[in-house]
């Protein structure tokens, strides 16, 4: 049965609407953002953990950026798929950061990153079965109760699969979205990478996603390693992923989208050109009247 979560506040940005294509905030571009007399992008995304355990310069910069830009908090260590996930310290720190930054969206990944008090700093895949679903739904419930917000989880790229998976990835995600009431951060590059790595149909994946669950889209580059693709975020978005993005926009409407570029980070100008490509697709395509410019005046979802 789908859970009622009226106690969660809707995604909020002081009544404003977040839309368009954002970029990841990286130290290399701090100064560009500060020096620019006008807003360079509609919003930025940061890796939550880089600001959760510091009171120094990183947090100072983030607060300064927040004065001009809506901020998305994107985590990599929530480990929502860990068995008996007791991450109170983590959730306390995340709650403090949310309070301080008032992000427009809070997200992490459909994965596990560690067990007990031991972290791997990687987004490790899960078997797609009932036990994983039960574990994740229970953990999401704990997280959403703690942060008093809807959490959005991203589909991850994977290189290995599990023999005891019972359903497909997209069925797995839909089931969790339905049971937990969490949202989906749809990474189009990860859909493409997994489709290639496991011989699946990327468009079929997009077709089966519940459109009402998506709060944000990620686009990134990847690398080719032997016979598989590796999600490296170290280059431009490839043509096939642009095609898939176009397809996703047709199906889901204009959803706030992020260009991720985390390795071999280029000058801001190059990153902005990549961003503009996504913006052009979004605006030029006139997809479904920006359904996903989230209307914050009412809860995003009926729970």
Partner 1 sequence: MQLQDMQSIILDRIINGNESAEAESKKLSEFIEYPDRFFIYKNGYFERIKAALLETYGCTTHVLGENAFEEIASGYQRYKKIAAYDLFGACDDFPEYIRTSKVSEIYPFLAELAEFELKCAKSFHEKGFTPISLASFANILRNNPEKAIFKVQPYVSTNISNWPLIDICNAMRNPQEDQGLFNIDAIKKCESPEWQIIFRRNWQVKSERLSKEQAAFFELIRSGVNLSAACASLEIYAAENGLSERDLRVHEWLCHWVQNDVFYA
Q: Which one of the spans 75-83, 205-213, 253-261, 290-298 is the region binding partner 1 (CB under 8 A)?
A: 75-83
- Selected from 12, 95, 119, 212, the binder of partner 1 by CB under 8 A is 119
CB of 85 to partner 1, least distance (A): 10
Q: Which residues contact 147 (CB under 8 A, 6 or more apart)?
A: 91, 94, 95, 98, 106
By CB under 8 A, tell whether 230 contacts partner 1: yes
Distances (CA, A) of 264 to 220, 233, 257: 13, 9, 21
Q: Which one of the spans 18-26, 80-88, 237-245, 269-277 is the region binding partner 1 (CB under 8 A)?
A: 80-88
Q: Which one of the spans 35-43, 102-110, 131-139, 285-293 is the region binding partner 1 (CB under 8 A)?
A: 131-139
Q: How far apart are CA 105 and CA 299, in angstroms?
A: 13
**Taking the C-alpha atoms of 95, 98, 99 and 100 in order, what is their torsion angle to the nearest 10 degrees?**
120
Residues 35-54 binding partner 1 (CB under 8 A) are 49-50, 52-54
Q: Please provide the size of the chain in residues.
A: 303
Q: How far apart are CA 55 and CA 125, in angstroms?
A: 32
Q: How far apart are CA 237 and CA 192, in angstroms?
A: 11
**Taking the C-alpha atoms of 267, 154, 138 and 54 in order, what is their torsion angle to the nearest 10 degrees?**
0
By CB under 8 A, tell whether 112 contacts partner 1: yes
Closest by CA position to 186, among listed 166, 223, 162, 216: 216
Strands (DSSP E) along 35-104, which ranges? 44-47, 71-74
Give the x-and-dash track for 241-280 against partner 1 (CB under 8 A).
----------------------------------------
**Taking the C-alpha atoms of 11, 48, 36 and 21 in order, what is their torsion angle to the nearest 10 degrees?**
-50
By CB under 8 A, tell whether 30 contacts partner 1: no
By CB under 8 A, tell whether 211 contacts partner 1: no
By CB under 8 A, tell whether 178 contacts partner 1: no
CB of 124 to partner 1, least distance (A): 7
Residues 132-161 binding partner 1 (CB under 8 A) are 132, 135, 159-161
Q: How far apart are CA 285 and CA 291, in angstroms?
A: 13
Chain centroid offset of residue 181 CA: 16
CB of 240 to partner 1, least distance (A): 20
Phi, psi of 274 (to 5 degrees): -65, -40
Which three-class secondary structure string do you get for 55-115? Answer: CCHHHHHHHHHHCCCCEEEECCCCCCCCCCCCCHHHHHHHHHHHHHHCCCEEEEECCEEEE
Q: Which one of the spans 126-134, 210-218, 265-273, 276-284 is the region binding partner 1 (CB under 8 A)?
A: 126-134
CB of 77 to partner 1, least distance (A): 4
Q: Which one of the spans 119-127, 174-182, 203-211, 277-285 is the region binding partner 1 (CB under 8 A)?
A: 119-127
Pick 39 or 164: Cβ nearer partner 1: 164
Count of residues of this chain found to bind partner 1 when the rule CB under 8 A is applied = 43
Pick 11 or 108: Cβ nearer partner 1: 108
CB of 79 to partner 1, least distance (A): 9
Question: Residue numbers of the site for partner 1 (CB under 8 A)?
Answer: 49-50, 52-58, 60, 77, 82-84, 87, 89-90, 93, 112, 114-115, 117-122, 124, 126-127, 131-132, 135, 159-164, 197, 225, 228, 230
């Amino acid at each position: 049965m789908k859970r009622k979560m009226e106690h969660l506040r809707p995604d909020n940005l002081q009544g404003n609407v977040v839309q368009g294509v954002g970029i990841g905030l990286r130290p290399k571009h701090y100064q560009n953002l500060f020096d620019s007399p006008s807003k360079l992008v509609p919003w930025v995304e940061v890796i939550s953990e880089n600001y959760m355990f510091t009171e120094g310069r990183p947090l100072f910069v983030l607060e300064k950026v927040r004065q001009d830009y809506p901020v998305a908090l994107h985590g990599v260590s929530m480990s929502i798929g860990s068995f008996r996930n007791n991450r109170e310290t983590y959730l306390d720190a995340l709650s403090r950061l949310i309070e301080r930054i008032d992000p427009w969206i809070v997200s992490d990944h459909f994965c596990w990153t560690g067990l007990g008090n031991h972290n791997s700093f990687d987004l490790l895949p899960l078997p797609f079965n009932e036990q994983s679903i039960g574990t994740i739904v229970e953990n999401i419930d704990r997280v959403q109760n703690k942060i008093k917000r809807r959490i959005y989880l991203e589909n991850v790229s994977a290189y290995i699969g599990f023999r005891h998976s019972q359903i497909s990835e997209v069925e797995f995600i839909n089931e969790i979205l339905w049971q937990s009431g969490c949202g989906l951060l749809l990474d189009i590059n990860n859909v493409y990478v997994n489709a290639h790595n496991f011989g699946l149909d990327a468009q079929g994946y997009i077709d089966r996603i519940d459109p009402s669950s998506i709060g944000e889209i990620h686009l990134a580059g990847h690398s080719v390693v032997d016979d598989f693709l590796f999600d490296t975020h170290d280059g431009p978005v490839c043509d096939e992923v642009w095609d898939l993005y176009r397809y996703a926009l047709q199906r889901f409407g204009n959803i706030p989208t992020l260009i991720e570029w985390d390795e071999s980070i280029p000058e801001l100008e190059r990153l902005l050109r990549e961003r503009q490509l996504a913006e052009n697709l979004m605006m030029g395509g006139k997809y479904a009247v920006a359904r996903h410019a989230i209307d914050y005046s009412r809860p995003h979802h009926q729970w």
